[in-house]
Amino acid sequence: VPIEDRGVFRGFFNGPQGSTPEYVRSYAADVERVLGSVPEIEKYFVISGVGSGNGAFFAGFLKPWEERE
């Protein structure tokens, strides 16, 4: 494990079994709002409907160390 972070993170979440695509998209939108509110994140993406359709994947790329607080 590197001593310093590499400036990238990723995550995944699953909705309850039988979740509708709209349900998953609403939670994916919440994740997107949170990611967009963090000034140290340079760019990010969220993909809903992965896995069996009730999951979402997200990843973010941090600004260089010298630009973070």
**pLDDT score of 16:** 92
Residue type, 34: V
**pLDDT score of 1:** 58
The string of pLDDT tens digits covering residues 7-64 is 999 999 999 988 999 999 999 999 999 999 999 999 999 999 998 889 999 999 999 9
**pLDDT score of 5:** 82
Q: Is the pLDDT of residue 2 over 70?
A: no
- For 40-68, the DSSP string reads TEEEEEEEEEETTTTEEEEEEEEPPGGG-
